[in-house]
Amino acid sequence: MKIECYLSAGCGSEDALRRNIGLALELEGISAEVEFHTANEEKTLELGLTGSPSVFIGGRQLQPQGAVGFS
């Protein structure tokens, strides 16, 4: 399983996101490749990111849902 996380520069959620993903994987007994990326405006539009952080599992954006672009 691959989890990709895209964050805007200076996003204050990164530490909590890292902890929560690690805890969820541990509790479920799942191993995954987890990557964290800082997304610029170009990458945001290219991927259709809807917020920061944006989390993809298996290539599918799961969180958040809404309009394209970081706010």
Q: What is the third-level CATH fold of 2-63?
A: Glutaredoxin (3.40.30)
Q: How far apart are CA 31 and CA 46, in angstroms?
A: 28
pTM of the model: 0.83
Per-domain boundaries in the chain: 2-63
- Interval 6-36: pLDDT, tens: 999 889 999 999 999 999 999 999 999 999 9
Taking residues 60-64, what's their average pLDDT?
79
- CB-CB contact of 13 with 7 (8 Å): yes
